[in-house]
A and B are shown apart, each in its own frame.
Chain A
């Protein structure tokens, strides 16, 4: 066999690793009943593939081939270790008997999609901490390395590694099931999955204000996860969240100036918004709304959609946005949503009306330490030419925010106050 062919095969294997390894892993976890055993089996299967495929050619169904090879390798390994650990004898026998009774090729291919959903729900199980859910999702479903995850979340690889080890131990010892939740459990469990995705997205999205490139890759990772989820489980809120992420991401390039300064929505160059993402986002919002019950991600996406549809800031349909915020307040009442609604009201009915709404929130004692409430208040005071009041609020906002681009923005506004 010539060097050229070997190189070709290793390229094919790399490609198949990228496209298939997560699905193969998801199936192996179900078949072998353990994350670590499945990961080891996955890597052994790929090692065998490099060898065997360059000799015999790539099999017709590489996924099924990898699953059965991985399983065979795992049982083999268990039998070898059973010489030292008697408890493995039974397990190896058990796995082997399942192995010989199933018709690998067809049966495994059928259930593979379900396995990926199992993997998603297990990684985002509420019995795992939020940090563990995120680490497991990025590691097991997205296939990121521990180092990549640590870099994205500005933590040490050893911290991430420990979270993953602990999560796997809890999955094993407390028997977190590897199952798609029942219909009754689905809404709650789906919420947990969507929350993980949105956290990952936001981590990347907020990092895109300046900082390192690796961090904002997280947004793309979250969008990819969102796409996978709606392919497997097209629930309305999953559609809504994907739409929301796409519509936000479509503005990513215009949120900062070339020199790294924050650019507000109203000042962004809308011709640079990503049209493809907007089109996809709008169609997903439509699909989600058409299902009847409208949840909070869908409503937020619908608001983003209205912004996306206005070719200039002054053309924004604020009445419709306020209406959507009213619905959002019913679904998920929160002072932050109330604040956003107040800003929309200010855009439609003038700064004075908006200011009284914001002051009502603050008077209740809510959001006192939230920098955006003070920034919004400062902006309305500025528009009303209440310079002294604006200055106090800008300074308060400045004292509460740590993000550099936001700080520079607030500084700029402060010096402009004359």
Chain B
């Protein structure tokens, strides 16, 4: 069984120093999980100002700036994908079946050095 652990928090809560400390501590945790055979993937995300939302309705793609902000719908899954730029990521997002019913939020992942290789 795999679990996705979703990290919620005020994106302005940490200053730059605290953010770096958080990255380091998280990287250490990831290594401990890796040696315990419990690690799949982990990454911080760029803030919501970098988010783009995709919906497909009637076969037509609707792309909007900003994060998904509808409280009546809840996070129901995720894909972690490799894409050469935002357009390619949006193409993939539009192919996700739930894009036709709900919304897929596309957020660039921050690559921090030192995380375990999969």
Cross-chain contact A127 with B52 (CB below 8 angstroms): yes
- A169→B108 CA distance, assembly (Å): 12
Given A127-B65, A175-B108, A166 contacting B85 (CB threshold 8 A): no
Contact B50 A173, beta carbon cutoff 8 Å: yes
Interface string of A105-149 (1 = CB under 8 A from B): 000000000000000000001111100100000000000000000
User: A interface, by DSSP: helix, strand, loop or mixed?
Assistant: loop
B46 adjacent to chain A (CB < 8 Å): yes
Query: Are A170 and B87 in contact (CB-based, < 8 A)?
Result: no
Is A154 at the interface (CB under 8 A from chain B)? Answer: no
Chain A contributes a number of interface residues (CB within 8 A of B) equal to 18
Chain B contact residues (Cβ within 8 angstroms of A): what range? Answer: 10 to 19
B94 to chain A, nearest CB (A): 11
Closest chain A CB from B106 CB (angstroms) = 8
Does B49 contact A169, Cβ atoms closer than 8 Å? Answer: yes
- CB pair B65–A173 under 8 Å, yes or no, is no
* Docked complex Cα distance between A169 and B48 (Å): 12
Task: Judge whether B34 is part of the interface by a CB distance below 8 angstroms.
Answer: no
What 1/0 flags go to B27-68 for Cβ under 8 Å of A?
A: 000000000000000000010011010000000110111100
- Cα distance, A179 to B91, chains bound together (Å): 15
Q: What are the residues of chain B within 8 A of A173 when measuring CB–CB? A: 46, 50, 108
Q: Contact: A177 with B86, CB < 8 Å?
A: yes
B85 to chain A: which residues have CB within 8 Å? Answer: 175-177, 179
Complex: chain A residue closest to B53, CB-CB: A127
Does B90 make an interface contact (CB < 8 A)?
yes
Query: Which of B63, B65, B66 counts the most A-chain CB atoms under 10 A from its CB?
Result: B65
In the complex with contacts A126-B63, A127-B65, A188-B61, A177-B52 CB distance below 8 A: no
The answer to whether A185 has its CB under 8 Å from any CB of chain B is: yes
Let me know if B63 and A127 touch, CB within 8 A. yes
Q: Mostly helix, strand, loop or mixed at chain B's interface? A: mixed
Residue A127 contacts which of B46, B60, B90 (CB distance < 8 angstroms)? B90
With both beta carbons as reference points, the residue of chain B lying nearest to A184 in the complex is identified as B91
Q: Which of A129, A175, A181 contacts B86 (CB 8 A)?
A: A175
What residues of chain B lie closer than 8 Å to A170, measured between beta carbons? Answer: 49-50, 65
Per-residue contact bits, chain A 14-34, to B (CB 8 Å; 1 contact, 0 not) = 000000000000000000000
For A174, list chain B residues within 8 Å (CB). 46, 50, 52, 86, 106, 108
Q: Most chain-A Cβ atoms within 10 A of its Cβ — which of B60, B63, B84, B108?
A: B63
Q: Mark A146-190, 1 if CB is under 8 A from B, else 0.
A: 000000000000000000001001100111110101000100100
Nearest CB of A to B34, in Å: 27
| A170-B49, A188-B61 known; A179+B87 contact, CB < 8 A | yes
Known A176-B85, A177-B85; judge A126-B64 contact (CB<8 A).
yes
How far, in Å, is A129 (CB) from chain B's closest CB?
Answer: 4
Report B82 CB to chain A, min CB distance, Å: 12
Whether A132 contacts B49 by the Cβ 8 Å rule is no
**Which 10 A-B residue pairs are closest in the complex by CB-CB distance?**
A126-B63, A127-B52, A177-B85, A129-B65, A175-B85, A174-B50, A174-B108, A176-B86, A173-B50, A174-B86
**Chain A interface (Cβ within 8 Å of chain B)?**
125-129, 132, 166, 169-170, 173-177, 179, 181, 185, 188
**Subset of 25 A-B contacts with CB under 8 Å:** A125-B86, A127-B52, A127-B63, A127-B64, A127-B86, A127-B90, A128-B65, A129-B65, A132-B65, A166-B49, A169-B49, A169-B50, A170-B49, A170-B65, A173-B46, A174-B46, A174-B52, A175-B85, A175-B86, A177-B86, A179-B85, A179-B87, A181-B87, A185-B87, A188-B61
